[in-house]
Each structure stands twice: as C-alpha cells, then as structure tokens.
A and B are shown apart, each in its own frame.
Chain A
C-alpha cells in the first residue's frame, strides 16, 4: 500500500477528533532543527476544511487497527473497514515535508489500540523519537495517551510531545459501560492525573534548572462526544468544570456525534449531528475559561439544557435582568464581561478608553462592542442607545436575530450538496 493510500485511510479514521490547535507551545527556534512552536503561531490556522474547521496539524492515526470495540467508533474491531499503519519513517517524512511547505504547524498523532495500549504507545514513541531526534523536528506535537498505558510509557511520551490528551469521549460512566466496554473511567483518569502531576513537577524543575526537559509543556486536553448518549448539557458542563479545576486541562473539546454505525444503543444513522448543541457548549466553555462564569450559574437542575435560541451568555442575562443595565463608565472589568456583546478585548478597551474621557454610546462600536446585543444591557453616562425601546418579548426576538447569521447552518441544507441523488 502506498503512502497516499495510507494517508487517506488514516486521515479519514482520525477526522472525528476535534482538537487541532497548536497553542501553548514554547519551543523557540533551535540551531540545526526545523521549526518552533513560539507564541507567534498560537491560533495559527493553516487552512480550513470544507466543514469550516481550522486545520493546524497533520491529524492522523498511526494505525486504525484496534482491538477494542467502542460502539460509536469507525475503527472498532467489529467494523468492516480497510486497515493501514504508517511506518515511523513515513510519518516523520510526511510531517517534515508538510511542515517545510507551511501546510501544517505540526503533528497530531493518535492511534487505534494495536495489540495493547502499551504496544501501541511504544510504536508512537518510536515514531515521535525518530521525528524529534533524527529528523530534528522542533515543531508542535500533540500525542494521544491511550487509556490503559503504563505510567512509564506515558512519561516517555510526555517528553516528546508538546501536548497530551486522553479522550474521555463519553461523558458518563454509564455511557462508557454500554458503548465502550473495554474502557473504564479509572483507565481514563489515571493518565490524566499522571500528566497533571508530571506537568506541574516539570514546571517546578524548570525554575531550578533552565535546561530541565519539558513534560508536555502545552498541557493536556480531552474530548467529549455530544449526542451519542442521553447526558444533558448541565452534566457535560459540570464535568468540564471539574476537569478544568481538578486536572488543570487546557481545553475540553466537544464533538457532535456523527452516526457512523447502526446500533440499538446509538442515535440512528439518519440523525444529524447536533451542531447547534455543540456550538452552545463551546460558547459556555468559553464563559467558564475567560469570563469567570461557573457551570451552576449557566444551568441548574431545573434547566438542564441550553436554550437553542440564544447563546448561554444572553440566556444568563435574560434570567438576571435586575443585574442590568451596566454603566460602561463605572462598571468594573468582571461586570463588563457579563454584558452580552462585550468580550474580553472590548472590555479591556473600555477600561483604557474611559481613562481618556467619558464614554458615549456612539463610541462603543469602535471599541469592538457588538451593539446589536449590548444595547439592551448597558448605559453610557446614564443614556441608552438612541431610540431604543423594548419589551421582554422584543428583547428576546432582537437577541435571536442578532445571532442568527453566525450560527452553524441548519443541518438540512448541509447534506443536499453531497447527495448525488
């Protein structure tokens, strides 16, 4: 089988993983090596695929052979699909040559479980070592730590990669038991805990010895599948928050479940992936990480799922109208961040700009405030936007309309373009 064919199979098998960022790296250019992962490339997308997702890394599996039988996965043992495996040389060559041409920022290497977690991880280590040491690759590497791998091997993997991830995939233990019978919660959490501790130690060592080797300097992330199980948004968001708090994850990714298989326990094959729900979760995740929100503020036992009509921040605002309006000339940073239509950047700009003089409503759009949303929730020197009048009803309609153009397309339109029929 030639490399082109392998690449096709092993990309196709890897594409459901949502993670594709090169953020958090700090490898500066090194003499005799190719590449760096400095902050100047954080958030650098090399292209966008036809589904609108950012492509930063060569995202492939080392092999799609798998001894496990996770029901939702195209690589599961019982699925009749073509199997392939890269040799370490093929993988290193692809990475280097793609990197030289500026196609990618690095490699995201994952794998099916070939024979055993340890055996697979050893193969990954061999490939990454070749890439780092022989091919002198100094770019970004994100490697998957496979649940069940022994700690010594996770350790070695961590010194080769910038970021490690262990995918939780199913947000609850019940889901794991029925859909991924070969995996246990314990097997997933063990490497996560180890990575957290080692990453922390490595940081402390670096303070003492400047050249101490770095263990996964870009931290760890995970992915949760949305819509394969009955888990609610509240459940998922609380899990997310726990992961940020307890395991110091850099990112939690969400992946709308794409039915690839008919199975009694899974949504049927003609169910569309819940893209809007995934979008809402990303918005809420953002609020947890950068806006000082807690999961319990956004959802609770009585409201377990996000309102599909408005984003989580607007939802929160609508439920807390007594918090508003916020006066932009006096409100502190945290308060400004709670205003729909005000982001991290525009909140900071408001703080600087108002030192130079009182702000008026007209100057807010220039500071990056999205007035279509913000106008209902703020005042400038006690004044609201010109001619603004609204009832609770028109407020909701206004907010819905303001977001509409930026939403993921309704799934109906999407498929028709692919259907030859």
Chain B
C-alpha cells in the first residue's frame, strides 16, 4: 500500500471515484482535494476522472453494508467540514474493514467529526426553514441565504411542499447556487452572480408590516439580546427582512431603476427552469 493524494472535480460522484480508485490502485489516501483547491506539493498525487459507473459501484457496495453510511456520505459531502473528503473516505475504509458496528458509537474517532458536521448541517437547515425570507417579485417568490453548509438540497422538499402552487427561487450566496421551483419541478443550479431586484410598492408594504410586527411583539420588560443571539446567531441576520436598513423598505424613485426581477444575463430566469444537467449530491437526497 502506498500513500497518495488524489484530486477530483469536486462532484459527489467524483469523490466516490476517488474511493473506487484507491481500492483499485491499492493506495492509501492522505488527502483528497478538489482540483481548484489543490496546490502542487512534494507528495505524490493523482488526478481521478469521474466515472458514473465506478461511482455507482461504490455506492452499491456501501449500501449493502450500511445504508445509513450512504446518507452520512451524501449529507457529509454538503457540510463545511474542512477536508470533508478525507474524513468521509476514512469512514468508508473503516466500514469496509470492520463492518458497521462502530457506527453505533457516536464517540468513535472516525465517525465523530462526520456526525458532528452533519448535525451542524441539519441544524443549519432547520434554522433556515424559519429564517429564509422571500419577496414577491412580480408573482415569483425570491429569497437569498448565506449558509455555511450547502443546505439547498435539504431545504428543497420543505419549500416545494410549502409553496406547491407558487414559483420560487432561493439563492445561496456562499456556494453560488440556486434552487428553482415551478409547476412541480425543482432543480439546483450553479449561479455565479445574483442581485435581488428592489421591491415594488406592495412588497415594500408587507416588509414594513412585518418589521412593525417584529418590533411590537417583543416585551420590553423582558429585553434579552443575549438570548436572541444564542437562538438566532447574527450571521443569519444579513438576509432577514426585520434587520435590514431603511432602503430595503422603500421603493426606488424612478421606476426605470427597478427592472423586472430576473436572474442576470437571462440565465435561468425564475420560472423558466434550466434543463437537467449533471446531478449534484443533492439530487440523491
């Protein structure tokens, strides 16, 4: 067994191929990098091409031993755990070597970092189910988030059920991707740049109403900013209506300054769904 660094294209399938090739080549991986994150080093490295068939064979093998691990891999891959690939790889190696027994022990040293990261992901997705804010942009609902983890695949089914008869999109600023939904179909697509259109009068009014409700519902004799902060960390406030400055609640003067809401460059305008493309790990969830 030789030690080796692998690089891959950053997709979930590509990652599974790293596992496949490590077994095929009898190599022990010390690191797995997305090619864009990889700085050439003194250590031996190998570029792993993505091969759907290889990826599926890895998945089938893992499912047989432990379906739960497949879920851990899919979710773990969405987390912001630093060097998540190598943690997930070690989980698979241990699983195939020892069987699934160790998965019952939360405190197991291979499992613990992954499960903690997945809990963080689940927790963030749960919070965002509440903290996401949409605006009505000419009949289409649009929202933005700035999460640490890639939560869109986890939010998809929730918001699709909630807004079954609406058209909506949700943009993830951190990972530069968006969830689009219309007429029963949802996709998650990369989206480099996005600028939310300013509100029209009706939208501005509802924002004002909400802000007023928010400010009024607090009981001043119970004022407790620390408790609020613990429950709703400040990093979420940036995309929440009730914490925006005045501009957010006013309609821009000249109507020309407020173009119809759309995703820039005519790319995947809300409502027009891009066709199917390569699947992200999310499509498996």
Using CB atoms and an 8 Å cutoff, list the residues of chain A in contact with chain B: 3-4, 7-8, 11-12, 15-16, 28-36, 38, 40-41, 43-56, 58-59, 94, 97-98, 100-103, 105, 256, 258, 272-273, 275, 349, 352-353, 355-357, 362-364, 366-368, 408-409, 414-415, 417-418
B residues within 8 A CB of A46? 130-131
B residues within 8 A CB of A408? 224, 227
B residues within 8 A CB of A353? 104-107
Within 8 A of A (CB), among B212-269: 212-228, 230-232, 240-242
Within 8 A of A (CB), among B181-225: 206, 208-210, 212-225
Q: Is the CB of B107 within 8 A of A363?
A: yes
Using CB atoms and an 8 Å cutoff, list the residues of chain B in contact with chain A: 101-102, 104-108, 112, 126-127, 129-136, 141, 143, 157-158, 161-166, 206, 208-210, 212-228, 230-232, 240-242
Q: Is the CB of B162 within 8 A of A36?
A: yes
Find A7's partner among B209, B227, B232 (CB 8 Å cutoff).
B209
- 8 A-B pairs with the lowest CB-CB distances in the bound complex, closest first: A52-B227, A363-B107, A366-B107, A49-B218, A51-B222, A52-B224, A50-B218, A29-B161
A residues within 8 A CB of B228? 48-52
Who on chain A is nearest to B103 by CB?
A356
In angstroms, Cα B209 to Cα A257, docked, is 28
Q: Is the CB of A31 within 8 A of B164?
A: yes
In angstroms, Cα B204 to Cα A4, docked, is 12
Q: Does more than half of chain A's interface fall in helix, strand or loop, or is it mixed?
A: loop
Query: Distance in Å from the Cβ of B104 to the closest Cβ of chain A?
Result: 4
Query: Distance in Å from the Cβ of B28 to the closest Cβ of chain A?
Result: 25
Query: Distance in Å from the Cβ of A190 to the closest Cβ of chain B?
Result: 30
In angstroms, Cα B165 to Cα A209, docked, is 28
Query: Distance in Å from the Cβ of B12 to the closest Cβ of chain A?
Result: 24
Who on chain A is nearest to B170 by CB?
A102
A residues within 8 A CB of B162? 29, 34-36, 102
Query: Distance in Å from the Cβ of B244 to the closest Cβ of chain A?
Result: 13
Q: Is the CB of B164 within 8 A of A29?
A: yes
A356-B101 in contact given A8-B212, A15-B217, A258-B219 (Cβ < 8 Å): yes
Q: Is the CB of B223 within 8 A of A417?
A: yes
Query: Distance in Å from the Cβ of A350 to the closest Cβ of chain B?
Result: 9
Q: Is the CB of A34 within 8 A of B165?
A: yes
- Knowing that A100-B136, A417-B225 are A-B contacts, what are 16 other residue pairs whose CB atoms are under 8 Å apart, sorted by A's residue number? A4-B208, A7-B216, A15-B216, A15-B219, A29-B161, A36-B162, A43-B126, A52-B225, A53-B217, A101-B241, A349-B106, A356-B101, A356-B108, A357-B105, A414-B221, A418-B223
Q: Is the CB of A34 within 8 A of B163?
A: yes
Who on chain B is nearest to A14 by CB?
B217
Q: Is the CB of A414 within 8 A of B222?
A: yes
A residues within 8 A CB of B158? 40-41
Question: Which of the listed residues B132, B209, B221 has the most CB atoms from chain A within 10 Å of its own CB?
Answer: B221
